[in-house]
Structure 1
């Protein structure tokens, strides 16, 4: 069963994940801790740090757009202060500081509580559905296979399209390896990009379009799209408008028909009379009989 979450809880989950990283000594540099956790590739480490910062900054900025009359402004202010501390965690100068000092910026339970206090507002306007572990495992089996890249690159589609699709698959691989860092919402955003590129390659290569790999990517897209949740208010509003349309439209059509029918008939009669009376003389002028 899927679990519904929201951007605020997703940020707290990211902080919890980072706080749970095991360190050998508290005076270890932040960059050394992250390299041991995510691998020796420094370029990837800096990319992940940048992604973490972008998520913190995006959430911090979104707090300025909150307009909830049920939410006390002081609660929003506390959330903003907490988000600012999270952003500071990713400052480049922090990378060479001791992990024990820097990690306090994202491991304070009071900061987490400040963010969670605005969760109910975010859940109403931007709910997110977490993927079940079985679904994550399933799509990993699809996209982590080297065969999928081979089939995409071997397609008869223009080379730039094949490369774009292969790159998106590689992006998805990284995101699936680091779901806590990217978050489920980012996975959902990738779905439309992946879908468009998969369809574009299939358009140029009918054999690829009928292949199991094309269908597997299409299935992955459906799974990622399911992360989006339609807010209950929108569902209810849609039902109400549908009911209104069904109830009102027939009577509206009948009223319109009744009002316009006599006028139309009179107009048609007048046209017939005019046709019978009007003649064109030799100069093309309209004249009577």
Structure 2
């Protein structure tokens, strides 16, 4: 297609994961299953934390916020993709695409902030155990969440307005199953230099700073753990961080994969797989990681699941 400017854009076209009509039903049921598991797993985490007083601590407060964020992020992407697969409609309205871009930016940024806050929580719990309840007060936890929401809204608004000011070419095909910022920007005919600078700045704020904070926290944690004389004691203390480390590695690892795929401009199919690993897989696996690698959560989930059939 040509590159003529098109100021009046009404729809974009989501090419999805495949054009093969024989594969589409498989993809539909697979993603429907993953979506249901994600919603159910994260909802159980939220209900368990809110129902049992011994789980209402800073760590589980952040976990429940992460679960809520995972539900929202997956809901932003998957239902529209399932609908398009069933109806064979590949288009999404301009307003719908912009909304999807903004919501993905918000929930991805908020998740990064929560993971950083959870690392700080583990740092205080291990390095300053006697002052933990004083430092990690409910007031501070609430302020952390409020600050994370506000900075995520600022990022969403800034980058969303940036996309709103773009003019697009006649080629409006997005080689993914949802509207992703970098892919939308590739369709623009207008100059995107300032936009790219803002994206790099946002990447630094929501990627570089949280990762630096997480690394600093775990360096301090490792230093404290190594001072424990007992090997069993070291393992017991460090095991409290295993769930967070697993979730953080999965989230940032998949996010880095998406960033690299977008930067090097490889095959669309590989970019789609990378986006699945960022917007679907971590959100589905997080409840299992927290449930299976945390004794309190595992015990609570078993208790909670056993109560549900009797209701």
TM-score by length of 1: 0.28
